[in-house]
Amino acid sequence: MNRVLRVAAYGCNVEVEASEAGVLEILDRHLLPTLPRVQQFAGEPQGMARIEAAENGYVLSAAGIESRVAPSVIELVPFVTQVVDEIVMRHLRGWFAIHAGTVAWRGRAILVPGTSHAGKSSLVAALLRRGATYFSDEYALIDADGQAHPYPRPLLLRDGSAVQKPVLASDLNAKVGREPVPVGWIFAVKYRPGTAWKVEAMQQSEAVLNLLQNTPQILAETPEMLSHFGRAVQGSKCYRGERGSAEDAAAEILQMASE
């Protein structure tokens, strides 16, 4: 008998089916774990995925993606996470997404915008180890008031390996945000190995442009995005520059955010 995990995420219903109960337990622990689980959706889900056991491990299949294979369920979790991300981002209504590592600090959000594989996850992990509250390692969801909402997927960390490993905020002894907070700081910092921390203040108009450059959504299709991002930036301190190690950058960011 197939088992089904149903997750309600920001107005989007996602259904993941598995052929084994043990698979579903691992997915339930890792896929947006603080968001509601639903016994039955009122209508059809916006997206579906399926995981089946195979000779060489487990196979993930979903509409519109190439099937993925991994030797264990835990190694398949990053691929399932990315599929769920794509479904949710495609069906967001009322929120706009920014590719940004996001944590909360003293009641405000710190956003570190950047593309995938830009080192956001390692920096977020370093911030969590220093006491920040987890929102996301990949997306900041901005509402009409400019507040950031948590998108608490597992952190996908490489730790020097080519393979991503799912890590929960609780594994780092960190709290997970459950309520939106105003944006307090934006750090548009590029990772350059061996580089010392070096940032300068950035105009708010430039910060809005940076957020627009790091959204998976299209401005021409959703022009109201501009006002959402404008309100997010309005009360924040904005910086651009370069960083080296995640630990050094995390220390600098939290020091600046604490001044």
Of the residues 90, 112, 143, which one is the last residue of a structural domain? 90
Residues 70 and 186 in one domain: no
Residues 78 and 167 in one domain: no
d(CA 154, CA 61): 20
| Structural domain for 185, as ranges | 96-258
Domains of the chain: total: 2
**pLDDT at residue 70 tops 60:** yes
**pLDDT at residue 1 tops 60:** no
3-state secondary structure of 236: coil
Residues 57 and 32 in one domain: yes
d(CA 9, CA 162): 29
Residues 29 and 112 in one domain: no
**pLDDT at residue 60 tops 60:** yes
**pLDDT at residue 124 tops 60:** yes
**pLDDT at residue 257 tops 80:** yes
Region 219-224 average pLDDT: 80
Q: What percent of the chain has pLDDT over 90?
A: 79
Residues 124 and 231 in one domain: yes
Strand partners, 221: none
d(CA 28, CA 8): 12
